[in-house]
């Protein structure tokens, strides 16, 4: 898919703007603090009603405004057109319009894939397991039908179980029921996540081989928090769980193990390797989404040039698939590549 | 801005479910315009319903007397009981005219987050009913939510020792519906619950 044009008002520090975008690479440059990332965020939010920085969507609204409005005109695979309007409101309900009709829920957004790589993504290899689970779930939502509602049931069941074990005198049969339901749904979630990993692993491996010039080999593997039956393990841990007020087993405790050259990334990878590992994963996600949806995702690369060494960036931009790509940087970088440039100064976009 | 008496009516109406401040204003103004005769009829109907309606002694559905029309009807099959969350579910089944057995209204679902535990539901009464009459099948018709499903499982466990047949309402494709419009989760469940023709 291609975002042909983007209009925004009341978005963070950005002055109201309207820009046409290229189907290829667009570079957004400007000094620090001028609004480069905000512009990328506006593009991201206009096709996902989300942010890659925060879950608090009110913070997207300019502090002097009551609401923020993003409009984008999109061309999908096969030439179909879609017009999206996203309104983020301080006091009212947020609103999304697709082709002038109000849409509810997140489902429609699964048709407009977008993948962002931001400096914080280095945490994918070093941070908490929840960051890796969220990454997997983000990909799963695009490539597996019913994935989001499965995750929502798991979260709901976990919250019910947590409330139950923290109550003063938990009803044992209720606990049996919520445990077995949560275990059942956890097994389903693990299976779906394993299926996503099985597809992602070879793609990430070959992308990384290319990105590192054939020097490094990476692999990813899903690690369940339980062995055998989740329900049995939960049952065995119940006494301890009630004492601690936690749930020891289930899909909320699973992790994605990352390995580089056969060793765990967490303890052996350098900072630079952590960045390129994360980048390979994100690009693999874009690739898998494209294959599954038959729709090219929009790729957003925030501050990529300071994230990777020059050699990798050159190789990267040269060999990237034909996605629509938005990049931010402080200057126009010295890479001999065809790209459109947009300058941003004090929140004003200059074409 | 409105006279106190009218504002009082608006406030009372706005406390009802499904009525926002704007609807409350509209209803209140219309009631005032229609005059005292209509208002008295409405007031009588309100008081009449509130004082007369009570839970059925058997099934906890709504009733004007000791027994609800279903439980009082000898033609309804006492051997099969359909367990539902609320009174509205009984009305839904009755509209469908597809069920000839009797009901049991739980009065909610097990929901620890909202503090609803099994003791808050009419479970003991259900067990009592099963003990004292020749019930052969219990249909669990709680809704297909996380809590509805958990409540159904809970009941299934509770009823297991009794040896009574326990069944769960199927989830699937709506009648007269295009497969195209069915959401993928429901379609998956419909496929799982397919039967041989």
CB-nearest partner of B188 from A146, A177, A180 = A146
Contacts of A186 in chain B (CB under 8 A): none
- State whether B150 and A176 contact (CB < 8 Å): no
More confidently predicted of B172 and B10: B10
Report CB contact under 8 Å: A159, B113: yes
Predicted pLDDT of residue A263: 92
**Chain A contact for B118, CB < 8 A?**
yes
DSSP result, A247-289? --SSGGG-EEEEEETTEEHHHH--HHHHHHHHHHHHHHHHHHH
Flag if B184 and A173 touch (Cβ within 8 Å): no
Instruction: Considering only the beta carbons, identify the residue of A149, A159, A177 that sits closest to B150.
Output: A177
Task: State how far residue B118 is from chain A, nearest Cα, in angstroms.
Answer: 8
Q: Is the pLDDT of residue B110 over 80?
A: yes
Which chain A residues have a beta carbon less than 8 Å from that of B185? 146, 149-150
What number of C-beta contacts closer than 8 Å exist between A and B? Answer: 49
Contact with chain A for residue B124, Cβ under 8 A:
no
Counting as low any pLDDT under 70, the low residues of chain A are 307-308, 333-337
User: Quick check: B193 contacting A, CB < 8 Å?
Assistant: no
CB of B154 less than 8 A from some CB of A: yes
For B150, the closest of A145, A146, A181 (CB atoms) is A181
How high is the pLDDT of residue A88?
Answer: 96
Alpha-carbon distances of B46 from B20, B41, B58, B65, rounded to whole Å: 20, 9, 25, 17
Q: Please give the residue that has the higher pLDDT: either B190 or A196.
A: A196
**B16-37 mean pLDDT:** 93
For residues A178 and A166, is the Cβ–Cβ distance under 8 A? no
Contact B118 A174 (CB under 8 A): yes
Structure confidence at residue A307 (pLDDT): 66
Q: For residue A232, give how far its alpha carbon lies from the nearest alpha carbon of chain B (Å).
A: 17
Q: Are A238 and A250 contacting, i.e. CB atoms less than 8 angstroms apart?
A: no
Contact list in B for residue A242 (CB cut-off 8 A) is none
Task: Say yes or no for a CB contact (<8 Å) between B185 and A149.
Answer: yes
For residue range A252-306, list pLDDT tens digits in order: 999 999 999 999 998 888 888 888 899 899 999 999 999 999 999 999 999 887 7
**C-beta atoms of A181 and B146 within 8 A:** yes
User: CA B54 → CA A289, B17, B41, distances in Å?
Assistant: 56, 20, 21
pLDDT band (50, 70, 90) for residue B171 = confident
Instruction: For residue A193, give how far its alpha carbon lies from the nearest alpha carbon of chain B (Å).
Output: 17
Tell me whether residues A157 and B150 touch, CB distance under 8 A: yes
Q: Complex ipTM above 0.85? A: no
B111 to A174: CB separation less than 8 angstroms, yes or no: no
Q: Looking at the complex, does the CB of residue B150 fall below 8 Å from at least one CB of chain A? A: yes
Q: Decide if A156 and B146 are in contact by the 8 Å CB cutoff.
A: yes
Of the candidates B146, B154, B188, which has its C-beta nearest A174's C-beta? Answer: B154
What is the side-by-side strand order in the sheet with A81-89? A17-20, A2-9, A67-75, A81-89, A95-98, A101-103
Q: Write down the pLDDT at residue A321.
A: 74
Question: What is the distance in angstroms between the Cα of B69 and the nearest Cα belonging to chain A?
Answer: 33
Q: What is the least distance, in Å, from the CA of A145 to any CA of chain B?
A: 6
Question: A270 vs chain B: nearest CA distance in angstroms?
Answer: 42
Put simply, the answer to whether B153 touches A181 (Cβ < 8 Å) is yes
The string of DSSP codes covering chain B is ---HHHHHHHHHHHTSTT--HHHHHHHHHHHHHH-HHHHHHHHHHHHHHHHH-EE-TTT--EESSSS-HHHH-TTS-TTEEEEESSHHHHHHHHHHT---SEEEE-SS--BGGGTB-GGGSTHHHHHHHHHHS---EEEE---SSHHHHHHHHHHHHHHGGGT-EEEE----PPTT--GGGS-HHHHHHHHHT----
Is it the case that residue B91 has pLDDT exceeding 90?
yes
Q: Could you tell me which residues are beta bridge partners of residue B84? A: B105
Residue of chain B nearest A153, judged by CA positions: B146
Please tell me whether residue A104 adopts helix, strand or coil conformation: coil
Q: Does B111 touch chain A (CB under 8 A)?
A: yes
pLDDT of residue B120: 94
């Amino acid at each position: 898919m291609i975002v042909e044009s983007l209009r925004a008002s009341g978005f963070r520090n950005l002055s109201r703007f309207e820009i046409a975008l290229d189907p290829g690479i667009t570079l957004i440059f400007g000094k620090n603090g001028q609004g480069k990332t905000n512009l990328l965020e506006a593009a991201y939010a206009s096709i996902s009603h989300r942010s890659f920085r925060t879950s608090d969507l009110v913070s997207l609204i300019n502090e002097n405004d009551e609401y923020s409005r993003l409009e984008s005109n999109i061309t999908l695979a096969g030439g179909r057109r879609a017009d999206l309007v996203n309104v983020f409101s301080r006091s009212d309900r947020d609103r999304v319009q697709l082709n002038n009709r109000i849409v509810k829920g997140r489902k429609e957004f699964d048709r407009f894939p977008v993948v962002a790589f931001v400096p914080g993504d280095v945490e994918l290899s070093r941070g908490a397991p929840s960051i890796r689970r969220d990454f997997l779930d983000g990909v799963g939502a695009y490539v597996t039908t019913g994935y989001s509602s499965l995750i929502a049931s798991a979260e709901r069941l976990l919250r019910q179980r947590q409330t139950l074990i923290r109550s003063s005198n938990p009803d044992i049969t209720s606990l049996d029921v919520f445990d077995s339901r949560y275990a059942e749904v956890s097994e389903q979630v693990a299976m779906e996540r394993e299926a996503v990993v099985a597809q992602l692993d070879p793609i990430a491996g070959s992308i990384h081989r290319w990105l590192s010039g054939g020097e490094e080999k990476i692999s990813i593997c899903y690690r369940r928090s339980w062995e055998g039956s989740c329900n049995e393990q939960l049952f065995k841990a119940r006494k301890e769980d009630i004492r601690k007020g936690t749930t020891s087993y289930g899909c909320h405790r699973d992790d994605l193990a990352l390995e580089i050259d056969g060793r765990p990334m967490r303890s052996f990878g350098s900072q630079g390797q952590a960045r390129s590992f994360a980048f390979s994963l994100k690009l693999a996600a874009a690739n898998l989404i494209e294959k599954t949806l038959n729709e090219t995702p929009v790729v957003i690369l925030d501050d990529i040039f300071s994230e990777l060494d020059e050699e990798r960036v050159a190789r990267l931009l040269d060999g990237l698939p034909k996605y629509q790509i938005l990049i931010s940087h402080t200057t126009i970088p010295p890479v001999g590549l065809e790209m459109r440039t947009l300058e941003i100064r004090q929140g004003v976009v200059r074409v | 801005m409105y006279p106190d008496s009218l504002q009082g009516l608006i406030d009372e109406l706005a406390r009802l479910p499904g009525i926002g401040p704007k609807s409350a204003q509209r209803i209140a103004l219309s009631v005032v315009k229609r005059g005292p005769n209509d208002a008295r009829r409405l007031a009588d109907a309100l008081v009449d319903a509130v004082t007369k309606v009570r839970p059925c002694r058997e099934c906890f559905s709504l009733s004007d007397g000791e027994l609800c029309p279903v439980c009082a009807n000898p033609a309804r099959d006492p051997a099969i009981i359909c367990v539902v969350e609320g009174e509205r579910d009984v009305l839904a089944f009755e509209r469908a005219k597809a069920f000839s057995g009797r009901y049991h209204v739980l009065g909610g679902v097990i929901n620890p987050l909202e503090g609803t535990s099994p003791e808050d539901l009419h479970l003991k009464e259900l067990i009592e009913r099963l003990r004292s009459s020749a019930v052969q099948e219990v249909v669990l018709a709680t809704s297909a939510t996380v809590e509805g499903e958990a409540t159904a499982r809970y009941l299934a466990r509770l009823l297991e020792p009794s040896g009574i047949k326990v069944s769960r309402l199927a989830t699937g494709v709506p009648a007269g519906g295009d497969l195209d419009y069915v959401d993928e989760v429901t379609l998956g469940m419909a496929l799982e619950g397919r039967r041989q023709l």
